[in-house]
Structure 1
Amino acid sequence: MEIRYDELLNPTVARLLKTFRLDKDYVYGEGNYLTDQDGVRYLDFIAQYGAIPFGYNPEFIWEALDRVRRNKIPSLTQPSLPGEALRLARKLMELSPGDLTYSTFCQSGAEAVEAAIKLARSATGRKIIVSTIKSFHGKTLGALSATGREVYQTPFGAPVPGFVHIPYNDIEALEKVLREYEGEIAGFIVEPVQGEGGMIPAQPGYLKKAEELCRKYGVVFVVDEIQTGLGRTGYLFACEEEGVEPDVMLLAKALGGGLVPLGVCLSSPRVYNDDFGSLHSSTFANNNLTCAVGLAVLDYLTRDNRRFIEEVKAKGDYLLEKAYALGRKYPEVIKEVRGKGLMVGIEFYEFCDCGSFDMAYLADVKGFTALLAGFLLNVYNIRLAPFLNNPMTLRLEPPLTVTYSEIDYVMEALEKVCQILEKRDYAKLYRYLLGDYAKPEKIDDYRGISRKIKGSSLQEGEEATEKFAFIIHYPGPEDVVINNPSFASFSREELYRFMDWQTSYDEPGVVCHMPAIRSKTGKIAQGWLIGIPYGGKQIMSLPREVTVEAVQKAVDLGRDLGARIVGLGALSSVVTRGGRAVQGRGVAVTSGNSFTTIMALEALFLGAGKMHIDVPKSRGAVVGATGSIGRACALIMSEEVRYITLLGNPEHPVSSKNRLNSLLNEMLAYAYRRRKEGKIKGLSAWLDEVLSLLERKNDEKARELKNKWEMNNDFSMELLQEICDYLGISLPVNFSLDIENTLPRCDLIIAASNSPDYIIYPHHLKPGAVVCDVARPADVSPEVLDKRDDVLILEGGLVEYPDPVVFGPNFGYRDGVSLACLSETVLLALEGDYNDYSIGSKLSLETVAYLRGLGEKHGFKLAGLVMGGREVTDEDIERIYNNALRMKKAESI
């Protein structure tokens, strides 16, 4: 196993940083700026979550460290009475609110929380610790158990017994739990501002009332000021704004001055006890070196009558007002602005219906603010951070030394982000991922062509009774542009690079929730589109186990959402072998290929009629005939067409020839059975004519061949070849791996390959040909539409629904029109038929017929003929037909 150097510290985080170009190696830090190894300078607006209070390498902190070095002060002298630690403890006692007296020093905030938990339990003899939902108190086991976010706890067996969580800012909830567990609760721990929860400040009076309730019920009141303390909110301690006097107060982060790890659990004589004092200790506690830094921090904050903190408060008010103004200016983008002092959170609205599956996907997989952070870092050289607990919120937490001009610069950059989001010019947020770090100047407005999700209208009391999910991905780069109009600014090469970048994620995400689709029978279903981050080329080139696992996760997500059937879109069916690799996961599965086959052939034959093609005498072709859709199309095409060529993959000649030969035998056997059933049409009609020719010959060889024919319950290519050789006629069906010389002779073409690239170009088509391209990604190159106005190129598998529903961007089609593979999933949900369908490489013709019947029952029918992304009229097709006539006439001269 190869281990990358940049993954040695934390490979999980390293991959995330690399994905969003956040993986800078900062080699120099001074003041509020960092410089990376390439010499690029960045404004730091994270301050290590408050642990860099005075910027990088503040001189007065180094002076404190130099004092320790000059005087050779011993760092670790336990058990003893270390002077620097005692001086810091005395300073903390003098400055802290109430009667907080005793300092228990440690190296981190989490360790301070652990000490507080032990102190509360030892002081009261009780076990239960109450904390708030969305709180964050650290990641050691006790602190993690107090942290109010299940996602961080579950993998580690947290919370351990003895922890209860209640809503934040809800004094009634606190009183209720104190009353319910009276005599059992040791302590209540709370943050004055929920930092990781999204910069949520305590409501006025909340902390004071909490203090009073804790006193009333004999519960230790613990205020976690690890992030809020030491000037961050414009006060030395946030709780002193309302005169709150905790039993225990916790400090860390800023106490180390940005250079050393230092935390403290401050406690009142009311709760400090000998059990705790004699049994709790730490090797690195009471460290003279770190405590010397802590003293320097407190001296700096309190000099000149706390003038520095007053300046912090003014700058915090300025930052908050700037953020509020941004929220007022972009109310459709910014959901809420929260915070206190230099702790500000800007929460964006969820991208559940934003006109872009990409943005919806990123929001669902918690990557939206990481995208913004990467954009701001690489384009504006601003270092911001998303939240652990609130993935739609940006954290603004600069060093306390931030300047007004630096605040203005950051807010100007954030306004540009808001403009991009408001006008849905999303591509500008992604360009930096391709190495384009230019600041966007003009923001284009795509709202007018951005489509909203629209379900069937429901009457009062109506609700969806059935549920489905459907897995989607981008088959080709043109689909990115269809879904995100702003990506039209990307070249095809850039689109492929963007799709390569998307594979950095391997998790599925919900990109659309369809609230209601009504059948003409009155049944109603709801469903979810689930995106996987792979393009067609990527999904076919990555190791199969990787893509299969991604599809399996998507199926599981659909199941967990409540879907009872999951459909496989585009190449998710191919890589799972027609769905076989995702069966048996507690939910029904369909590839959607049966209804796709029906709609493709309906479109082909409708187009043939409008192009005045004599279908029985035409030559049909199936490109990609070895696939499940291609095979079924070939069999059903043979019901109408006598002469058919099957085209396989020249890159796999042996397997393609074997499978094509098998399909030819299957087609003949099918035609043979249809003739016996009296269905004399298409290939069966040709067989009937051949039998008549044999009967008219009436010689010994003819009678021998006729007897062979009638004695067989099936039919084979070998027998047909022998009959054709005798009669001197050509076989009606054949196969080929040579698209260059074969396709130009064909009139009706189904394109259904699994190729990630275009395979049909202008020179491959005869004048007047009709092609139904059902492949995803498309088989037909856009050049054909540009250069050939004498051929009809139809998008296959398009279905019109009973109601004009829209799946958001809806794959580029008009209201009420969508893909047949998705429609098969919806039909089975509306029918309440939660069994596996259309699985494997051989579609059952009985299933195809069943789906045809479901379509008629529920009112799903072929949409109008679509060419080049728009529905074509009879006049359009007649023009194409006349162009073909002129082309044929010119070729004959």
Structure 2
Amino acid sequence: MKALQEQAEKLTLSSRAFYNDKFPVFAERLTSMFGYDMVLPMNTGAEGVETALKLARKWGYVKKKISIDEAIIVSCCGCFHGRTLAAISMSCDNEAIRGFGPLLPGHLKVDFGDITALEKIFKESGDQIAGFLFEPIQGEAGVIIPPDGYLKAVRDLCSKYNILMIADEIQSGLARSGRMLASDWEEVRPDMVILGKALGGGVIPVSAVLADKEVMLCIQPGEHGSTFGGNPLASAVAIASLDVIRDEKLAERSAHLGEELRQHLFKIQQQFPNYVKEVRGRGLFNAVEFDKTALPVSAYDICLKMKERGILAKPTHDTIVRLTPPLSISSNELQEGSKALHDVLELDLPKMRKPKPADAPATPCHRCGRNLYG
């Protein structure tokens, strides 16, 4: 907030045609922190994804010599990369795509965590594939952790088939998973990294795409841009945010407190084995999945009851409650939050037995063909 206030009194926005004194500092800080040659700043996470897609396609045509207009991007079933037209064209969520067609061509799907399926797609269509865009931990899907070794195997396959490994770290990055990047859990270096959310410190929208010159310089002046991307106000806030994450060791803090939180959640699972199907997470990026057959209400109803007890959480897919508290949370607050969930299951749930609405007719996913509800 101090960085925001101080910069707002000096300069908030200048045209991208001119230099300002804040963006170069932000660019140097981000590239040196993550070890990439260059950064292209945007505002929202979805814009970061769009930027990465354009970069991947352009690299595919310029460097890999893919035939013009035939570049393919591979993404994962269950992914969430935003709600722009390009992002929903990769989605398996019928709710997200209904009424917004026609969707963009040039996309193939693969199951998240299935390295065999990924190699099969690379073998069959590798000459046309520019990039593999994926979340190292799937957030909207319910904090889905990949199998051990998956990220390294992805890196090896992308290198083997000359395909850009593009990590969407908008949710999972910047200390959320207990590492600066979720990709760091297997010590892999993607060709592109997309950052957002925490980059703005909860104050202002900031996103960025990191890549080396081999990829980034495929985009020529005038081919991509943003009025507000990299503006002095956002740059000043992002610098302060990165400094806080580094100086206050928030990645280490997230790893330690995440273990603590999961211990609380495992105890809840032991007390309510009929309700709690799984507890999973890394760092302060966690989820509790409930047994759909045993739970008398939806995860949304549980979140409403937690809200009444002073705890905000977010449901997904009817049966999953995601728990992603601030990295500044204390041990006592973690315990308080866990107790709220415990009390909802013990005290509120027995009173909440209401008939759930019948499932909607199953409809096939427009990408993977699976039967999905809604």
1:149 — aligned with what? 93
Q: Report deviation, 1:234.
A: 1.3
Q: What letter is aligned with 2:107?
A: F
1:106 matched to 2:48: no
1:202 — aligned with what? 146
The equivalences for 1:697-712 within 5 A come to: none
CA contact (8 A) 2:305 2:344 kept: no
CA distance in 1, matches of 2:80, 2:125: 23
Residues 93 and 86 of structure 1: is their aligned pair in 2 closer, same or farther, counting only changes over 3 Å?
same
Match for 1:373 among 303, 325, 328?
303
The equivalences for 1:252-271 within 5 A come to: 252-271=196-215
Residues 156 and 103 of structure 1: is their aligned pair in 2 closer, same or farther, counting only changes over 3 Å?
same
2:341 — aligned with what? 414
Residues 135 and 276 of structure 1: is their aligned pair in 2 closer, same or farther, counting only changes over 3 Å?
farther
CA distance in 1, matches of 2:259, 2:340: 19
Q: Look up the SS of the partner of 1:410 in the other structure.
A: helix
2:313 — aligned with what? 384
CA distance in 2, matches of 1:221, 1:158: 27
CA contact (8 A) 2:72 2:107 kept: yes
Q: Report deviation, 1:226.
A: 0.1
1:394 — aligned with what? 321
1:78 — aligned with what? 16
Residues 179 and 155 of structure 1: is their aligned pair in 2 closer, same or farther, counting only changes over 3 Å?
same
How far does the alpha carbon of each residue in 1:278-312 deviate from its partner, in whole angstroms, 9 at most, with x for none?
30111112211001000001111112xx6332122
CA distance in 2, matches of 1:158, 1:310: 45
Q: What letter is aligned with 2:28?
A: R
Aligned-CA RMSD value: 2.2
Q: What letter is aligned with 2:279?
A: V
Q: Look up the SS of the partner of 2:216 in the other structure.
A: coil
CA contact (8 A) 1:145 1:160 kept: yes
1:68 — aligned with what? 7
CA distance in 1, matches of 2:116, 2:103: 23
How far does the alpha carbon of each residue in 1:666-718 deviate from its partner, in whole angstroms, 9 at most, with x for none?
xxxxxxxxxxxxxxxxxxxxxxxxxxxxxxxxxxxxxxxxxxxxxxxxxxxxx
2:55 — aligned with what? 119
1:329 — aligned with what? 271
Select the structure that is richer in helix.
1
Q: What letter is aligned with 1:335?
A: K
Q: Which has the larger radius of gyration?
A: 1
How far does the alpha carbon of each residue in 1:335-380 deviate from its partner, in whole angstroms, 9 at most, with x for none?
11111111111010113x66xxxx3xx5xxxxx12211111112x1
Q: What letter is aligned with 2:258?
A: G
How far does the alpha carbon of each residue in 1:596-646 deviate from its partner, in whole angstroms, 9 at most, with x for none?
xxxxxxxxxxxxxxxxxxxxxxxxxxxxxxxxxxxxxxxxxxxxxxxxxxx
Highest RCO, 1 vs 2 (Cα 8 Å, sep ≥ 6): 2
Match for 1:345 among 282, 287, 290?
287
How far does the alpha carbon of each residue in 1:639-674 deviate from its partner, in whole angstroms, 9 at most, with x for none?
xxxxxxxxxxxxxxxxxxxxxxxxxxxxxxxxxxxx
Q: What letter is aligned with 2:24?
A: L
The equivalences for 1:765-804 within 5 A come to: none
Q: What letter is aligned with 1:316?
A: G
Structure 1: tracts of 5 or more residues without a match: 1-61, 363-367, 431-479, 484-501, 503-507, 511-556, 562-893
Q: Look up the SS of the partner of 1:249 in the other structure.
A: strand
TM-score (norm 2): 0.89
Aligned-residue identity in percent: 32
The equivalences for 1:484-563 within 5 A come to: 509-510=358-359
Q: What letter is aligned with 1:376?
A: M
Q: Any runs of at least 4 consecutive aligned residues in structure 1 with deviations exceeding 6 A, and if so which?
A: none
CA distance in 2, matches of 1:244, 1:301: 21
Q: Report deviation, 1:139.
A: 0.4
Q: What letter is aligned with 2:5?
A: D
Q: Look up the SS of the partner of 2:54 in the other structure.
A: helix
CA contact (8 A) 2:73 2:108 kept: yes
2:160 — aligned with what? 216
How far does the alpha carbon of each residue in 1:205-252 deviate from its partner, in whole angstroms, 9 at most, with x for none?
211210111111111110010001111111112212322111110000
CA distance in 1, matches of 2:126, 2:343: 53
The equivalences for 1:2-401 within 5 A come to: 62-70=1-9, 72-97=10-35, 100-125=36-61, 126=66, 127-157=71-101, 159-303=103-247, 307-351=249-293, 359=296, 368-378=298-308, 380-387=309-316, 390-401=317-328
Q: Report deviation, 1:277.
A: 4.5
How far does the alpha carbon of each residue in 1:105-133 deviate from its partner, in whole angstroms, 9 at most, with x for none?
11100000000000000001242111111
Residues 158 and 405 of structure 1: is their aligned pair in 2 closer, same or farther, counting only changes over 3 Å?
farther
Q: Report deviation, 1:154.
A: 3.1
Q: Report deviation, 1:158.
A: 5.9
Aligned pair count reads 355
Q: Report deviation, 1:78.
A: 1.8
CA contact (8 A) 2:59 2:218 kept: no
Q: What letter is aligned with 1:190?
A: F
The equivalences for 1:641-660 within 5 A come to: none
Q: What letter is aligned with 1:384?
A: A
Q: Look up the SS of the partner of 2:109 in the other structure.
A: strand
Q: Report deviation, 1:74.
A: 4.7
Q: Report deviation, 1:166.
A: 0.7
CA contact (8 A) 2:179 2:185 kept: yes
CA contact (8 A) 2:276 2:289 kept: yes
